Each structure stands twice: as C-alpha cells, then as structure tokens.
Structure 1
C-alpha cells in the first residue's frame, strides 16, 4: 500500500555552543511513497502475507496515511519498532516447522509432481539450526529502506546530512550529545538498528557498519534483561509472571477445532504422505518465512491451491489468540510492561520545544517539575532531551503491549475471543501491528491554532484514541494526553509488584 504525504524541508540553523538546532520550512513538496515494503495483488483479501501476523515482511495497517492533519506539522515522535525479518523464531521452528521438514526429508517422491506440493520432492529447507533468529538478507535491506523512509518523513527531526562531511558548511559545528538510536541487545535487534542507521544517515555519520560515528550518531544497546524496568526495551524478559504458554494453549485448542478441514485438503493433495494436524500451521508458517528469506512471491508454500483465503483468515486468528493472552488485553501484565515506554516517550515529546530551537538541555527531574502530573522515568533513554525523534528497536512482544497501554484495539470492549470459531468482528488483529518492522508510535504535532496535540500511529495508520479525539484529525490535545498517561501510570506503574519480582 502506498502512502501520500507532504514532507517538510529542513533548514539548518547553527548554534555553535548548543546541541543540534533544526528549523522547519513549511514549503510544500511533492508527495512521497513511504513505509510499505511490498505491494499486494488485486485481491488483498486473499494475500496470505496480509494475514500472517508476525511472520510477514513489513506492510502498512489498513487506512495508512501518516500525513499530518491540514495546518499541522510533526514536531517530535517516538517509535517502538520490532526487529526486521529473521529466518525463523526458534519456538515456532521447534514446535511446528521442524517436525514437518524432517518428515518431508524422509518422504521424497511422496508428493504428486503435477500437484501444488510436488516441489517438496526436491525441496530443501532454507531454515536450519545455525540460522535460527538471524536476520535475512531481505530483512537487512528492508531495515535500510525503513531508515531512508524516516529521512524522507522526518528530515527536520534528524541531524542535517552535511554534519561531519569533509569540507561541509557544518564541519565545525560543536555537538555536545550525539543523536541516539536505541536497541535491545539481541543480535537481530542490533543488526536491524545498524541497518536503519545506514539507511537514515550518510556514511560519514553512520560509523563502522551502522553503530554511529560516536560524535553525531550513536547506537545505544540496552541489555535484554536490564533490571531498570522502565528503561528496558524488553521488560517481558525479566517479568516472572510473563508467560507465552497460556496463549499457545488457546491457539492449540482452536487448531483442534479448525484444523481438520485444511488437514483433509492436504491429505487429498498427497495421499501417500501422512500429514499431521500441526502441519497445517507449519506450511502456512513456511509461506511467511520463505517469503522473508527468498523474497516476496518466491515461496511455493503460498500457493492458493494449497490453502485458500478462509484458511489464512483462520491461521491469522490462531496467532491473534496467542498474542491476546500473551501480550494483549487478556494478559494480566501487558499494560504494566507497556506503560513505561509510553510514559518515557510522553516525557520526551512534552519536552520538545515550542518553537524552532533546540530541546532544553535539562534532566528528567526538571522536566518533571514542569509536568508534575507525570511520574519521572529513569535516566534512560535520552535523559538530556537533546533530540526530537526517538527510534527504539525491540522484540515482537513489546509493540502490542504498547497498544494495550494506549488503550487501542481494546478487545475486552467487544468480548472474549472464542476458541471454537473465528470471531470476525474482533478489533485485536496482530497482522496489523506485528509484521517484521511493525511499530507503534506517538507523534507530537503543532497546528495553525498554535496548539500542540498527540496522535498515535500503528504501522503507518493514525489511530483514534477513544478517550481523547478533540484535536485536528482526531488527535488528542496535549494536556489531555498528559492526564491520560498519568492515569495509566497510576493504574499500571507498579511493574515490580505486577511481576512479583524477587529482590
């Protein structure tokens, strides 16, 4: 899906003894295409990768259009982004794909050559124990493209391209604090963040391989099991009460109810091969993973003659059940694990200057005195408030928990998700947030009325906050948003208590 928007040309104002200073020109420019990494066919309801939840290359959410409301411009933004495409998740490989792959190896010739599964007679798995959880080559390229799109979308929020360039007009600018990009400490997160930096910044700023040159750009690695809860990018990894198993139990129950139909289809396609119920999931997972390994349209597992649109809708629901219990509204700890990113990001957006100069160079404690309704987060990230765009790279669990903290896609208002049939009118749809590079973001916008507002973005689509939509384009007046975050922190701020941490 393509997005149209007007992006703002950045002009540079140099303050020799300050940090980076950017001014924003309001001159309209030509529309740009952003975010979508591949195009769907003429029948989007069938496209399997649209309904593959967390096993899909990046694609926009429905209704994607991040152009600010008329008369408004973005002055600050914070993004919580899942890492880019990997060869396979180790749990999904072990439970579903590997057993199927091993049995296929021992059954060469069992698949009719003229049928849609005939390719399995000579097929070799691109996934193995050595490349599990590693970034794919297309995934690295997608992350670089993602960085380039940020440069097009937010040029006025990033350091000028000429900073650090030899013989550049800005070569002598003294920068006290480099622009930071944050990442969780797993290799797939670090690799994604480095590729993002290579896409968003010129070579003379990106450093060796994307870790930043240290003067203008810096990549900050946050340990996965950082004991500082609200500074962590992966709080689920140190929460004693966080569990993946409850969602998996629900999904397995749904598979027992839904799976016999597509299982019978498989058996009819290759009568001499003994299919198992979990193979229904394995084949659909391989459609997604092969697509992010080999490229879009290159996986024969995605053949419509194997599974049709209904099968992929049910497969999507299978994943929605997993994540609803794991990181969604049916999880007791999800709001506690998501609200601290929201609080920290709101602090950063509130500290963005009212005009066109630098961020105030002050610690969080001073910002908290100005905004007493918000509990002060710890020193990281960006305790000095020296930038206006915040990119955080993390794992698949975190963006959905940020959704819960924001109160978006609240499934509890619709009803519980049944295990015997697919609920078609559900609002909890992880395919819209969880593809590789899927993200949740909040933007601060300033409009012609000289007022500031906040709006939420999920994979390129602006979201309406039910509790606050009185601003332009259903955005939220900043004072009301601050009050909302304060309320959420009072409800869910006690992450240690929620997780029953042993000191």
Structure 2
C-alpha cells in the first residue's frame, strides 16, 4: 500500500502571518459566515472603525529594530557574504528605507486600500445614503486614509467633510486614540521581549555559525524580519498584553467608542446612515476586548487565567487572538443595524451585529436573531453587562488632569 504524503498539502503563506505589518486580509474561518444581511433583513445603518492603510514603517519598529540593524550592516565590512550561501542575498541588498528615513509616511498602496474600502462599502450598502462626514485622528497616516476614503465614496452632489479628531494626553475617552489620555496604561513590550529572546535564539546561533565575525543579535534578527515584512507570534504576545485581554485597561479604553456607536445605531432616526472613522491599531483591538471578541479563553479557561492562553515560552496554535487577521493595515470593525421582516422563524424587528474585516462576529451571549445577530433588548442588555465590566474610564485610568470625560461625544460635536 502506498503511503500518503501528508506534507504535500501543507502550504504556509507568510503573507498571512505578518503581525501588525500585515497587508489587509479577511479571516479564513473554518466555518466562514456570509457578510450579506440575513434573509429578510436589510442594513438600515452602519458604523465602521478602521485602522489606517499601509505606511512605509512604524516609528517604533524603525527606531528600535530596523535602523540599528541597517546602521550596523551598512558599516560592517568584515564579512564576505558571497561565500555564505544562505546569506549571500546580503551582497547586493538595498534597504527600502534610507538611514534617517521619516517613519509612518502613508504609501500610495495605503491610499488605494482606503479607496477600496469605500468601494466595498458602496457595494455592500447600496441603499444607505452617502455620509456627510468622516472622522479621522489627526496624524497624516490616519487623516490621509480618511481623505482617500472620502474621495472614493463622495459624489459631486454628496461631498464628504473630513473631521479631524485631535490626539492628546488630556482628552479623556473622547478620542480615536484614547489610550494616550489614560495615565495608568502601559504597553506590552516586556512580555514580547521574553518571547523574542526565545524564538531568535536558534536563528542567532545558526547565523553566527555562518558569519561569527558579524555577531548577530536579537535586534539584528528582528530588524531583518521586519524589513522582510514578516513577523512571528511575538506580535500576538505584544498586542495581547498591549491592547488585548492581557492588559486590564484594554476594555475600559475601548468601551466608550463601542457604547457611543451602539447609541448611534439604536436611534429611531438619524442624520447619517453611515459612520466611518479612521484610527490606529490600538482602538479597534481595545474595542474587541470591550465586546468580548477574539477571546482565547471563551471556550475554556477563565478570565483569571487569560494570560495562560498566550504563553511566553511556546506558541498557542489554537489562539483566537491573531494580529495578522484582526488588525492588519486597514483592518476594520463594523456594526450594522438590520431591519428585518419575514425572516423565517424570527419575529420582525431591528437587530444588530458586528463584523471584523467583513466577517460577521457573534457577540458573546447575544445571538438570538438571524445570522447570529442580536435583538434590541438583548443588545441593550449586552451593553449594560459590558458597561458593568469596563465603564468609568477616568477612574480606572487614574486620570490626574482636569476636564476628563468617560464618553465619546465627537460624533455629536
């Protein structure tokens, strides 16, 4: 009997595993759900929170990893790379970034991604009125994405005004980057450092056996990986502890946007059919926590052991928190208000659902209507439950400045 070659069907595509530097992709669930409205339902209103489109490089990536590697590499003359087969590509390697490059500059691809989102929304919601406003945080990478989106969506008869939401350390929750105004917030770099040292150890040993005079370090390896646009599990760890379930303030920082957006959707009537905002990778992921999405412990474990689901000494292959899928460049979180009539087995009414990168995501315990959507009464109860867990931004963030706020009001201002 011939043996089956189980490896023949294995295919690893690194473009689907790039961490926070990933290009836009939609999750490939084992049981994918259609982004179309359920039978008998139409979308009556929608709200989107999107990360900006592609940029040339993140500032912390460049300053902490890429620039140190490039400086060392370009000043090193003691290795003949032509004689080292696995590394001979370094003979004529030219960096896409000049030393001293300005980080976070939006790219043309990033603008096209934002324009494509406008096209996708036009196709998905043919009956919604074009909005009069789009919101974006103030830095170029977000505002330019907002401008590109608005240009692609607006018409001569329906111009769109881009509203800039100022970033800062004293705005309370009323921001598209509210973590900056949370004094108690801390990043998750320490945990990621622990894993980086672990996974780079065999790589450094192999490279240094080939070119001992170069003395490859963790910084060199991570810098090279970032230059190649590829990262590993370290990003999932960093953002688990940075803006995910491993940070006790993530839900508190993400809840005000979720709460304000839910109120916009539940209004009986509104001037806008569509709300679209552009921010950074932080707010959408913190909103995921506030909503209970991509929770590693949802089907086992407990909140007390949530960090056990993201260990620092090995990879959890069954984790739900995958940075490449949930927050790539232009990754987006959407809420829809569904007007349903004649859905088989369900009463008529307004229902609500969430989507991430156009893939429907059931809200925990709030899936009593078609397509795992949520009735208004259940949605209101869900919001109250999450408020009990994550409200009181100013108190929990230990705000030490005047005029803080616990709510998002810029959609009304």
Superposition TM-score, scaled by structure 2 size: 0.85
Does residue 237 of structure 1 match 2:208?
no
**Mapped partners of 2:374, 2:209: distance in 1:** 54
Equivalent runs, 1:185-334 vs 2, <5 Å: 185-202=138-155, 204=156, 216-225=159-168, 227-244=170-187, 247-267=188-208, 270=211, 273-288=214-229, 315-334=231-250
Shift of 1:58: 0.7
Using CA pairs under 8 Å that are at least 6 residues apart, name the structure with larger relative contact order, 1 or 2.
2
- Pair 1:147–1:44, CA change in 2 (3 A): farther
Deviates more, 1:112-121 or 1:94-103: 112-121
Deviations 1:143-197 (A, max 9, x none): 12222222222232233xxxxxxxxxxxxxxxxxx71100001111100100111
Give the structure 1 partner of residue 282 of structure 2. 397
- Alignment partner of 1:125 out of 65, 70, 95: 95
Shift of 1:405: 0.7
Give the structure 2 partner of residue 291 of structure 1. none
Superposition TM-score, scaled by structure 1 size: 0.70
What is the total number of aligned residue pairs between the two structures? 376
Equivalent runs, 1:279-428 vs 2, <5 Å: 279-288=220-229, 315-351=231-267, 353=268, 359=269, 385-413=270-298, 414=301, 415=306, 416=308, 417-428=310-321
- Pair 1:407–1:448, CA change in 2 (3 A): same
- Pair 1:58–1:336, CA change in 2 (3 A): same
Does residue 477 of structure 1 match 2:375?
yes
Structure 1 unaligned residues grouped into runs of 5+? 1-41, 160-177, 206-214, 289-301, 303-314, 354-358, 360-384
Equivalent runs, 1:149-188 vs 2, <5 Å: 149-159=120-130, 179-188=132-141
Deviates more, 1:440-449 or 1:101-110: 101-110
Shift of 1:228: 4.5
Does residue 51 of structure 1 match 2:49?
no
**Mapped partners of 2:20, 2:325: distance in 1:** 9
- Alignment partner of 1:458 out of 356, 360, 374: 356
Give the structure 2 partner of residue 495 of structure 1. 393
Shift of 1:113: 7.1
Shift of 1:226: 7.4
**Mapped partners of 2:189, 2:74: distance in 1:** 27
Deviations 1:116-162 (A, max 9, x none): 54332233322243430110121122212222222222232233xxx
Indicate if the aligned counterparts of 1:149 and 1:200 stay in contact, CA closer than 8 A. Answer: no
Structure 2 unaligned residues grouped into runs of 5+? 1-7, 343-347, 403-413
SS in 2 for 1:156: coil
Deviates more, 1:425-434 or 1:82-91: 425-434
SS in 1 for 2:134: strand
How much is the aligned-residue C-alpha RMSD, in angstroms?
Answer: 2.3
